Amino acid sequence: MTERPTLAVGTMSGTSLDGVDAALVRFTDPTHVTLLAFVTRPYDEAERARIRAVLDGASARDTALLHADLAVWAADAVQAVLGAGHARASDVSFIGFHGQTIWHEPPAVSWQLGEPAILAEQFGVPVVSGFRARDVAAGGQGAPLVPVADVLLFGGDAPRILLNIGGMANFTWVKRRAIEDGAFAFDTGPGMAIIDAAARLVDPALQYDVDGRLAARGTPNEAVLSELLSDPFFRAAPPRSTGRERFGDGYARALVARVPGADAVATAVELTARSIAGAVTEWGRDAREIVVSGGGAHHPGLMAALERALGPSRTLRRFDDLFFTGDAKEAVAFALLGYLTMHGQPGNLPGATGAAGGRVLGAVTPA
């Protein structure tokens, strides 16, 4: 155990195209964390275009160059969060680096880009990366991995659901704040990925549905929505995970081709809300409190739709109101995963990923 600050660098859920989030944190043990500083280094449009091109099957050269540049962009975030936290690289024990998810297809592979050696060389500290591969090798989905933080850091005294709405949405059911009491987690389906992609298609001047204004102008197409919700994915039992391969730009293009204008964005909002609510209803057990983080927590229309879909028996609360800014949650979680790896402790929850057992995750690039 250490009281030196532990730096975490990660992209939101690995599926967001917003940028690199970096959190500077101090652990006193794996169940107590202090957030010292948090920054986001946003991607510009040219950078997003490069990521989308690789997602769409760009050349090996383009993929390799992006692999290097993602680490350079992450280094920008690390430098910024050190400045914000008035810390030096020599104060940091290690960096936990998730990288950008490019392809997620368990049980074969979950692939994240971002060269950890670039960070190790620039900052002179060990870098823990490649968190998902060992879980996949052990028969797991490689996702979600944040549940270990949900249990160790964010559990309560009674059953609670920790819901993250990033590019994809996932939740963790936590009985209470203790690993031995058990937890399970899975991806419910799309989060903001389809909403924001549909918004860009309807209005190319937008990067995302700012303040939910575009969705608010539309009306959900119930016939199309019913068809989309019949996707077998939404009926599959956990463990399950997904990504932009299934619920990404191509899915949004097909939706906008069928439902014009703002109605497409409104339909995407309801798709996310109702798929989450369906998963909570079926698998949420006795948890009455749902704590929401991620980009979706900032979309008023989605939060309202989710509250309607869940009904009065469950209470939505914002992560920010209970802990720290919810935008930092996943970067903090990957700091914890790095901490566990550096201490030789498992970082996956087999009840969340379906792996054959607990595994020490990731690889360490030495300083």
The whole-number pLDDT of residue 338 equals 95
Give me 207's structure tokens.
Answer: 């990067």
The whole-number pLDDT of residue 182 equals 66
pLDDT per 10-residue tile (average), the chain, 367 residues: 51 67 91 93 93 93 97 96 94 93 92 96 96 96 92 90 94 77 86 96 94 97 98 94 92 97 98 98 93 95 98 95 94 95 94 94 97
The whole-number pLDDT of residue 156 equals 84
- For the domain 5-142+328-365, what is the CATH superfamily, name and number? ATPase, nucleotide binding domain (3.30.420.40)
The whole-number pLDDT of residue 28 equals 85
The whole-number pLDDT of residue 8 equals 58
The whole-number pLDDT of residue 10 equals 46
- For domain 155-322, is the CATH number 3.30.420.40? yes
| Domain spans in the chain, listed from the N-terminal domain onward | 5-142+328-365, 155-322
**Tens of pLDDT along 47-64?**
999 999 999 899 999 999
Give me 346's structure tokens.
Answer: 């498992």
- Establish whether domains 5-142+328-365 and 155-322 are of one fold: yes
